[in-house]
A = this chain, B = another copy of it.
Amino acid sequence: MRVTRAKAAENREKVVATAARLFREKGFDGVGLDAIMAEAGLTHGGFYRQFGSKEGLAAEALGRAFAGSAAWQAGQPGLRAVVDGYLSARHRDAVGTGCALAALAPEVARQGEGARHALAVHVREQIGRIAAWLTGQDEAARRRRAIATLAGLVGALALARAVDDKDLSDEILAAGRAEFGGA
């Protein structure tokens, strides 16, 4: 049965937000449209009235995940605070709401143009944000350091999650905080 335009927009939002979480938790191939729609409180049949394909939803959900993490960093808390939050046990244990780069980067490399472009835009934004917090040297050197910092954060979080040894995982997070937190 038809719903109001406002309700339809709200439902669409819910699907994108649910997908953004489930893709991060289970990977693009690890969750089906059925599960996404069900968790959003809908039946799967209505999916194609709102989205072109699963790949289209993946690109849109990735953009949503990036937008969420950008909002989470609003208020310019500075490099130290961002690095400590990023490489925290809390972030490591919250894959579904955490950084989509650490959760999905290698899978995005196999995705279509939409998802890969959304990732590139986000990477450029994060490089700029980190570079603005850095001090000393010339601008080119600060940008290089910002890129290395972003890569270090993403790699450390991904490794801390993949390892089966909690002590090693904690050590990776602590080493990253120590090495990447200085401006």
The number of chain A residues touching the other chain, given as a range, is 35 or more
Let me know if A171 is at the binding interface, CB within 8 A: yes
Query: Which of A6-14, A33-41, A114-122 is the interface stretch?
Result: A114-122
Residues of B close to A168: CB separation below 8 A: 120, 123-124
Copies of this protein in the assembly total 2
Let me know if A143 is at the binding interface, CB within 8 A: yes
B106 touching A148, Cβ below 8 Å: no
A130-183 with Cβ < 8 A to chain B: 143-145, 147-148, 150-156, 158-159, 161-165, 168, 171-172, 174-176, 178-180
Residues of B close to A85: CB separation below 8 A: none
User: What is A's interface to B at a CB cutoff of 8 Å?
Assistant: 26-27, 29-30, 95, 101-110, 113, 116-117, 119-120, 123-124, 143-145, 147-148, 150-156, 158-159, 161-165, 168, 171-172, 174-176, 178-180
